[in-house]
Amino acid sequence: MQNQQPPRRRRPMTPEERAMAAERRRQKEILRRRAMRRYYAFLALLGALALAALVGLFFLIKAAAGWARGGQASSVSAAQSVSASAPPASSGEPAADPNAPADPALWSLILTNTTNPLPEGYAPELASVGSNSRNGEQFMDARVKEPLEQMFAAAKANGVLLEEAYAYRHAQLAQKVKEIVDSGAIGRIRYLESKHSTFDTNRSGIRYQKGNGGGAVYDVTCYNVSLASYLLGKDPEDMSVYCGFDKETGVDTSDAVMLRYEEGVTAMLYAGLDAYRRGCYSILGDTGRIDVDHKFNSSGVCHIRVSTGARPQGAEYVDETTMDYTIWVEDNYKREIELFSDAVLNGTPLTISEEESLRTARVCDAIRKAGGID
């Protein structure tokens, strides 16, 4: 028989050996982490290069498209560019449209945004489109009167959808607020407060042209009214209105509006063209409140603060619980086009109903009348 060797027993490690083993493991972990950091840095670099390539490709395609249209673009003469920056004539005649091309048949609508404002002295040629008992005679750009009449006739004959274009109503911020309200998180709405102001003292701009729809109500107040119409879903029973006016042009530049609804619900709205730029709103229910510290048409990362559970203790309120909803809000105008397109192509409901639009218009008209705006 072969002699069986007894199993070898591993000698216990001394404290020094254990320390050395631990150090080796620590060094290996350090090396592993460094390798991972280099790996992620490499991936980030690749991503940045890919993004730069896509951006470059986009501008290259855009430039190529511009070159392809070069022949058509050249029909707009240099004289047109000069006329766009020239001051309006002082002969007393209505100022010509500074963006109108040399050939009147090639006109196009002027699209405006924060980086492309209306040119100074802009005054479109208006044409009457009829009248009604509420608003009197109505006007619109004379160049689009006939095409628009044809469009409405075709829409009516073919069941085409029409929708009011409040971009913020199509975005996730206002829709999330409505969802929270409808969930009962703050109970029944008792009070709504909204502020919307933009500091604009350019008296040659469209906002200060009284005959062309200028003034605070039609430019900024309407957003506050739209929000109240959306969240409360009803017409007010009564209102109190104070309006401020520009001494030079006579347009309304600010308004403070209190709306009273059934069951004692109230809304306080402030809007102005002559105050610090501000956009925010709050909704108080009987069991909580919602605060939104973002202007209308905000995009990107937005926050909705919902507070509940507060109870009085002496002169203070204690035990209030606040939940912050952080949401990503897409570009409001892009979202508006997508949702409207979805309604047209797939039959999904319109975001803004005809009833809501008419309610907003009724309240704005009543504010103008109560505020003495002619």
Instruction: Find the mean pLDDT for residues 352-368.
Output: 88
pLDDT higher at 254 or 10 = 254
Percent of the chain at pLDDT above 70? 72
Lowest average pLDDT, out of 125-134, 155-164, 191-200, 348-357, goes to 125-134
Residue type, 250: G
pLDDT > 70? residue 112: no
Most confident by average pLDDT, 36-50, 63-77, 96-110, 226-240: 226-240
Please say if the pLDDT value at position 10 is more than 90. no
Q: For residue range 289-317, list pLDDT tens digits in order.
A: 999 999 999 999 999 999 999 988 888 88
**Residue 95's pLDDT is what?**
47
* Whether pLDDT at 134 is above 90: no
Asked if pLDDT for residue 78 goes beyond 90, the answer is no
Mean pLDDT computed over every residue of the chain: 80
Contact 260, 236 (CB under 8 A): yes
Q: pLDDT band at 116, cuts 50/70/90?
A: low
Query: Looking at residues 56-69, what average pLDDT do you find?
Result: 64
Higher-confidence position of 242 and 163: 242
Name the one residue in this structure whose structure tokens are 């308004």. 255
Residue-wise pLDDT tens digits, 145-185: 566 567 656 767 888 888 889 999 999 999 999 999 999 99
DSSP assigned state of 217: I
Type of residue at 66: G
> CB of 356 within 8 A of CB of 230?
yes
Q: Cα 305 vs. chain centroid, distance in angstroms?
A: 19
Domain with CATH 3.30.360.10 in the chain: 167-370
pLDDT > 80? residue 127: no
- Which pLDDT does position 135 carry in this prediction? 46
How far is it, in rounded angstroms, from Cα 164 to Cα 364?
15
Assign 17 a pLDDT band (cuts: 50, 70, 90): confident
Residue 13 banded pLDDT, cuts 50, 70, 90: confident
Model pLDDT, residue 117: 64
Question: For residue 193, what pLDDT is reported?
Answer: 97
pLDDT in tens, 191-236: 999 999 998 888 888 889 887 788 999 899 999 999 999 999 999 9
pLDDT given for residue 297 in this prediction: 92
Backbone torsion region of residue 121, taken as left when φ is above 0, otherwise alpha when ψ lies between -120 and 50, otherwise beta: left
Task: Output the pLDDT for position 180.
Answer: 97
Separation of alpha carbons 373 and 155, rounded Å: 34
For helices 222-232 and 354-370, what crossing angle results, to 10°?
130
| C-alpha span between 279 and 292 (Å, rounded) | 9
CATH number for the domain running over 167-370:
3.30.360.10
Residue 267 C-beta-side C-alpha neighbours within 13 Å: 30
User: What are the tens digits of pLDDT across the range 320-338?
Assistant: 899 999 999 999 999 999 9
The reported pLDDT for the residue numbered 157 is: 83
Does residue 11 carry a pLDDT above 80?
no
- The predicted pLDDT at position 87 comes to 38
User: For position 148, what pLDDT does the model report?
Assistant: 54
Cβ pair 271, 197 in contact under 8 A? yes
Instruction: Average the pLDDT over 19-34 and give the result.
Output: 84
